[in-house]
């Protein structure tokens, strides 16, 4: 059972999304709406299906059932087309081009918004030079915005962990999204970096970009989000504001590890969800550019990216499983 509250104009509308891997239903009949200007949280215990859900929204997976609409249009299940439509994302495990500079990483993210073709790039005519100058200017503005301008010429791999996460966000913003999906943006950050990340998310929202964020840090979630949806064993069990989620007995039970089936009815006085410790952060794997390229609209730039951009045939879950192993965790 789930409750849904939406006040803003719908930007993203997810209806009945289900993702099965053979006998495992990782995401089960999930509905979710994100409105213009909203910050929506997605929480749940490890293995609840949160990242799989993101993958269904961004074309990395073709959902077994259900529809994903953005600005009232069904999204094509191809990462670069999803990016073009206006949805950008970051990944749980950082996926930067480690041996490119900070600025170059952001320029890659602008790919879907530049019109100059291969011929133009080879000739390097005035049109290309203008477009390149404009891209650099916009990329530098994003580095200013995220506080990374002074490190524009540094190699991405040399940035401290928290700044690598910021760079991922800058690169995602370079595609000029209307909706930004953040997958555990504070994983591995210290408390000071986490507070700075909160400020950054608010600043992004103030630019008119809606945000859907997966996070294990409950304080971060409840400080930021207008609404939060809770996934447990692939199902959305509750959605609402901080009080609704924190006061839901099933949420407490799920976080404390009791089987969902034996969860007591809602209503009893719960413990505070915010007191549940976050799990250990994912290790930094700042060397996998494939999905980033596909997200940036370059599905064929890397073999892995091509794989990510070509979701497997729905009738072949085995192939799809292989593909997802390549692109996530």
Ligand X SMILES: Nc1ncnc2c1ncn2[C@@H]1O[C@H](COP(=O)(O)OP(=O)(O)OP(=O)(O)O)[C@@H](O)[C@H]1O
Distance CA 49, CA 89 (A): 17
Select from 323, 292, 322 the least CA-distant residue to 310.
Answer: 323
User: What is the enclosing helix (H) or strand (E) of 52?
Assistant: helix 50-57
Of 48 and 296, CB closest to ligand X:
48
| Sign of torsion over alpha carbons 52, 57, 58, 59 | positive
Burial 58-75 (b: 16+ CB within 10 A, else e): bbbbebbebebebbeeeb
Closest contact distance (angstroms) between CB of 115 and ligand X is 35
Of 20 and 113, CB closest to ligand X:
20
Task: Give Cα 180 distance to the centre of its chain.
Answer: 6
What 8-state DSSP symbol labels residue 283?
P
Of 116 and 326, CB closest to ligand X:
326
- Tokens representing residue 292 in the block: 């980033």
Residue in this structure with the two tokens 């719960």, named with its chain if needed = 270
Distance CA 27, CA 48 (A): 8
Of 264 and 283, CB closest to ligand X:
283
Residue number closest to ligand X, CB atom: 324
Of 51 and 294, CB closest to ligand X:
51
User: Which positions touch ligand X (CB under 6 A)?
Assistant: 21, 24, 26, 44, 46-52, 92, 321, 324-325
Closest contact distance (angstroms) between CB of 72 and ligand X is 27
Of 160 and 279, CB closest to ligand X:
279
Of 91 and 222, CB closest to ligand X:
91
Closest contact distance (angstroms) between CB of 235 and ligand X is 12
Q: Which long-range contacts (CB under 8 A, 24 or more apart) does 305-314 make?
A: 308/60, 308/79, 309/59, 309/78, 309/79, 309/80, 310/78, 311/59, 311/60, 311/61, 311/62, 311/77, 311/78, 312/62, 314/62, 314/64
Residue in this structure with the two tokens 């215990």, named with its chain if needed = 45
Pairing of strands 235-240, 10-21: unpaired
- Tokens representing residue 86 in the block: 């206006």
Closest contact distance (angstroms) between CB of 282 and ligand X is 8
């Amino acid at each position: 059972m789930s409750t849904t509250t939406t006040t803003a104009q719908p930007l993203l509308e997810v209806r009945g999304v289900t993702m099965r891997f053979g006998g495992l239903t990782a995401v089960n009949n999930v509905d979710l709406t994100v409105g213009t200007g909203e910050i929506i949280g997605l929480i749940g215990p490890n293995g609840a299906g949160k990242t799989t859900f993101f993958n269904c929204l961004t074309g990395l997976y073709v959902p077994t059932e259900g529809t994903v609409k953005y600005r009232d249009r069904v999204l094509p299940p191809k990462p670069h087309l999803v990016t073009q439509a206006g949805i950008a994302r970051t990944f749980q495990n950082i996926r930067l081009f480690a041996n490119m500079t900070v600025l170059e990483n952001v320029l890659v993210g602008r790919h879907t918004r530049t019109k100059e073709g291969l011929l133009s790039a080879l000739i390097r005519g005035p049109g290309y030079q203008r477009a390149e100058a404009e891209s650099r200017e916009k990329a530098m503005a994003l580095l200013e915005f995220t506080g990374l301008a002074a490190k524009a010429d540094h190699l991405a791999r040399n940035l401290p962990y928290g700044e690598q996460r910021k760079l991922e966000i800058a690169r995602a913003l370079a595609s000029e999204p209307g909706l930004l999906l953040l997958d555990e943006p504070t994983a591995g950050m210290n408390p000071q970096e986490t507070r700075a990340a909160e400020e950054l998310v608010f600043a992004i929202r103030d630019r008119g970009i809606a945000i859907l964020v997966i996070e294990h840090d409950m304080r971060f979630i409840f400080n930021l989000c207008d609404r939060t949806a809770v996934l447990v064993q692939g199902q959305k069990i509750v959605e609402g504001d901080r009080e609704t989620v924190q006061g839901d007995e099933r949420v407490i039970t799920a976080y404390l590890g009791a089987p969902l089936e034996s969860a007591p009815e809602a209503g009893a006085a719960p413990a505070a969800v915010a007191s549940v410790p976050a799990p250990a952060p994912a290790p930094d794997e700042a060397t996998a550019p494939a999905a980033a390229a596909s997200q940036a609209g370059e599905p064929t730039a890397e073999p892995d990216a091509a794989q990510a951009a070509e979701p497997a045939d729905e009738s072949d879950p085995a192939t799809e499983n292989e593909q997802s192993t390549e692109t996530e965790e």
